[in-house]
Amino acid sequence: MNYSQIFCEYLKKHDLKNTTERLTVLQVVLAMDKHFDVESLIDRLKSQQKKISRATVYRTMELLVDCGLVTKHRFGENGRVYEPKSERDNHDHFLCVSCGKIIEFYDPEIEGIHQRLCERFGVEILDYSHQLYGKCNKCSG
Amino acid sequence: MNYSQIFCEYLKKHDLKNTTERLTVLQVVLAMDKHFDVESLIDRLKSQQKKISRATVYRTMELLVDCGLVTKHRFGENGRVYEPKSERDNHDHFLCVSCGKIIEFYDPEIEGIHQRLCERFGVEILDYSHQLYGKCNKCSG
DNA sequence: ACAACCATTGAGAATGAGTCTCAATGTCAG
DNA sequence: CTGACATTGAGACTCATTCTCAATGGTTGT
Ligand SMILES: [Mn+2]
Ligand SMILES: [Mn+2]
Ligand SMILES: [Zn+2]
Ligand SMILES: [Zn+2]
């Protein structure tokens, strides 16, 4: 089942309408670079003569996040950054404060930490954010 | 060496002036609740008849973070939240999305994760942010 | 103590990401 | 095909944070 199908099912399940704007946004999102902000997405839409308002783009990103096709981040002081989510691609981010490079990594111990937290406090974790900031190998020293 | 002394030394070292506004903000910050936002801090200052402009409060918080006396967070979609930092009090946060409760916790494995990242990619970590969102024991189920 | 230099302050304007409004338009179940 | 109602878009709006710049004040050398 591909992204469009998943999105359409999600829309149907929630009694939301299957509009061309929503589908177009999804198509263009999938063709974006790994981490992108809403401005770049809007620029891309414009450059492809798709006229979709800023409001609709924001509204649609909300839906894409909610249905699990896209994840939303906040890196540093900047605004939101999105990235399409693929199955079993769970990772955290290192951001170089000098050159802006982003390194994605996965360390299974993060789940151990979360597991222990749940047991210790009886909480239920729905989401998390974990970012590291520093100098990449090219920028340090 | 107490907070004020540290701050004064920091100011001197950076050729910044030791103003009453800066010292006052530090005093009031230290008397705030654990996690506070700038609005509450400004309210507190007002209620104590200390007239310090919003701009100066923001500017001073910047300095306090830079000199290591205060840490700055972003919880969810909200604005900045600050908290005074005490030596060897390194912790992460769990935030209940239902009731707003904040649980602070420390799991030493977070350092293992960071250590392994440094070794694997040759990066230098200067800072990080790690927050979990979910339901606390009173709100889940 | 004083002068002179220049950093700091404050009031309010500016910024900017994101949200909201509401009339016009589009979707889709029946 | 139609009616009911969800969605869209242009631009107004919000609100946290930053900026501006004239007035004020801290610091250093004398
Ligand atoms: Mn990523
Ligand atoms: Mn804390
Ligand atoms: Zn770098
Ligand atoms: Zn709760």
Segment A116-129, tens digit of pLDDT: 999 999 999 999 99
- Is residue A87 scored above 90 in pLDDT? no
Where in chain B are the domains?
Answer: 3-84, 92-140
Does strand C come within 7 Å of the CB of A66? no
Nucleotide nearest to B58 (CA to C1'): D17
A124 in B contact zone (CB under 8 Å): yes
Measure CB to CB from residue B123 to each of A109, A130, A136 and give the nearest one.
A136
Segment B67-98, tens digit of pLDDT: 999 999 999 999 899 999 987 789 999 999 99
For residues B38-48, one letter each, b for 16 or more C-beta atoms within 10 angstroms of the residue's C-beta and e for the rest, the string is: eeebbebbeee
For A17, the 3-state DSSP assignment is coil
- Is residue B16 scored above 80 in pLDDT? yes
Segment B90-122, tens digit of pLDDT: 999 999 999 999 999 999 999 999 999 999 999
Question: Is A117 within 8 Å of B105 when comparing Cβ atoms?
Answer: yes
Phi, psi of B134, deg, nearest 5: 175, -155
pLDDT at A98: 93
B112 in A contact zone (CB under 8 Å): yes
% of residues, chain A, pLDDT over 70: 100
Question: Is A94 within 8 Å of B74 when comparing Cβ atoms?
Answer: no
- Is residue B141 scored above 90 in pLDDT? no
pLDDT band at A86 (very low <50, low <70, confident <90, very high): confident
Contacts of A132 in chain B (CB under 8 A): 114, 117, 123, 125, 127-128
- Is residue B47 scored above 90 in pLDDT? yes
- Is residue A88 scored above 90 in pLDDT? no
- Is residue A54 scored above 80 in pLDDT? yes
What superfamily does domain A92-140 belong to in CATH?
A: Ferric-uptake regulator, C-terminal dimerisarion domain (3.30.1490.190)
pLDDT at B88: 79
- Is residue A89 scored above 90 in pLDDT? no
CA of B84 to C1' of C8 (A): 24
Can you tell me the mean pLDDT for A90-113? 96
**Closest among B41, B15, B43 to B26, alpha carbons compared:** B41
What distances in angstroms separate CA B97 from CA A48, A97, B100, one per listed residue? 39, 30, 6
CA of B1 to C1' of C17 (A): 41
* Domain B3-84 and domain B92-140 have a common topology: no
For chain A, what is the mean pLDDT? 96
Which of 1.10.340.30, 3.30.420.40, 1.10.10.10, 3.40.640.10 would CATH assign to domain B3-84?
A: 1.10.10.10
Which residue, among A116, A126, A132, A137, would best test binding to B if mutated, counting the most B CBs under 10 Å from its CB? A132
